[in-house]
Amino acid sequence: MLVAYAAGELDLETAGALEGHLAGCPACRSLAAEQAAVWQALDAWEAPAISPDFNRRLYRRIQNEVRLSWWERLTRAFRPMPLRQALPLTATAGLLLMAGLILHRPNPVAPARPRAETVRAEQVETTLDDLELLRQFAPAGSAEGGRPDAM
C-alpha cells in the first residue's frame, strides 16, 4: 500500500486512513518517506531525445519489407530451403528411396517389353507348330475345316 501511496494511486479515503496510521507508527512513516524519496529520485532519469529520422528509417524498413515480401512470394518456389528444414526432409526422402529400392527390386529376368515380344513370338511360333501338328495329325479332308474339294 505504501508503494501505491507514494505513487498517488490511493483514493482519498484509503489515503486518509493510511495517513492516520502513519501518524502513530514511526516505522511505517519512515518506510513511506523512503518510498516517496525513491519515487521522486526516479523522476530524475530522463530518456534521451529520439533521433529525428526514426520514422523515416522505420518507413524505409516497412517499404523494403513490402517490396521483399512481393519478391519473396515470387521466388519462394525457387528458393533453397534452410539447412535445418532441408536435412530431415532429405533424410526422409533418402530412407523412402532406399525402402522403395529394397521392396520393389526390378525383375532380374528380362525387361518387360522385350519379354512381351518374346512371349508373343513364342506364342505365334507355338500356334504355328500346333497348326502344323494339327495339319499333320488331322484326318484327311477335315484338317482345314473339312474342305470337300481337298479330298
Partner 1 sequence: MGVAAAALDYDAELMLRVRDGDGASFGLLLEKHRASVIHFVYRLVQEQPVAEELAQEVFLRVYRSRSSYEPTAKFTTWLFRIATHLALNWLRDEKHERGQERLDDGSPDLPARQVPDRRPSVEQDLVYRVKVDQIRQAIASLPEKQRAAVLMHKYEEMDYSQIAKVLGCSESAIKSLLFRAYTTLRARLAHMGNI
Residues in CB range of 56: below 8 A, 6 or more apart = none
Q: Cβ–Cβ contacts within 10 Å for residue 36, how many?
A: 14
7 scored as a contact of partner 1 (CB under 8 A): yes
Smallest CA-to-CA distance from 33 within 24, 42, 43, 22 is with: 22
Smallest distance from the beta carbon of 51 to partner 1, in angstroms? Answer: 6
99 scored as a contact of partner 1 (CB under 8 A): no
Over the window 14 to 33, marking each residue x when it contacts partner 1 by CB under 8 A and - when it does not, the resulting string is -----------------x--
109 scored as a contact of partner 1 (CB under 8 A): no
Nearer of residues 71 and 93 to partner 1, judged by Cβ: 71
Nearer of residues 38 and 87 to partner 1, judged by Cβ: 38
CB 141 within 8 Å of CB 147:
yes
Q: Which three cell numbers mark 8? A: 498517488
Q: For 151, what's the count of Cα atoms within 13 Å in the CB-facing half-sphere?
A: 8
**Residues forming the site for partner 1 (CB under 8 A):** 3, 7, 9, 31, 34-35, 37-51, 54-55, 57-58, 61-62, 65
